[in-house]
A = this chain, B = another copy of it.
Amino acid sequence: MKENKGLLIVISGPSGVGKGTICKCLLERNDGLSLSVSATTRAPRDEDVDGVTYFFKTVDEFKAMIEKGEFFEWAVYNKNYYGTPAPPVLESLEKGKDIILEIDVQGALNVKPRFPQGVYVFVAPPDMETLRERLRGRGSESAEQISNRIAAADGEMAKRFEYDYIVVNDNLDNAVADVEAIIRAEKLRTERMAKKSEN
């Protein structure tokens, strides 16, 4: 019986909901998982490592990738380009590796029609006030950026029903275990098991 193709697990939700922390824990606890690395034209911060946190590109390089159709999705935030390069994701999946894609709501819903066989997980806050508190507590952003993110959060929450699963992040360990259960269960779905036995 040949190995099944890998799973693309999309972890999404409003800013401040803790999806980055969940993904970090998932990667630490599961050797078989790796993270999709985005490309961006924004300036690297101190903690950034090219090819690990992002692929850092010039605007010209990024535009060339757009023209070659290399992105699952791309967008502009705060005058910087951000995008998910498709070729490395597809190559990993073909090799049977599972890939985590951490992405905002707009990005996830742009990927979904292009890759409906992915598993789309919406990370929700326990309540909206908790989310606002978390956003206000962030040190890396201007007051304007924070207030934009708070304004966006209500609209993003309304999109949660377009996902396959909703994980409420009221406790990090529980939320990580929820995503692990989702990954384990998705691999047992009859469609995927059927594909496996055809190979």
Does A164 reach chain B (CB closer than 8 Å)?
yes
Please give the number of chain A residues whose Cβ is less than 8 angstroms from any Cβ of chain B in the complex: 21
**B188 x A186 contact (CB < 8 A):** no
Give the number of times this chain occurs in the complex, counting copies. 2
Does A79 reach chain B (CB closer than 8 Å)?
no
The stretch from A131-139, A144-152, A177-185 touching chain B is: A177-185
B-facing mask of A160-199, CB < 8 A → 1, else 0? 1101111100000000011011101110111001100000
Residues of chain B lying within 8 A (CB to CB) of residue A177: 184
Pairs A-B, 3 closest by C-beta atoms? A185-B185, A181-B184, A181-B181
Residues of A bordering B, CB below 8 Å? 122, 160-161, 163-167, 177-178, 180-182, 184-186, 188-190, 193-194
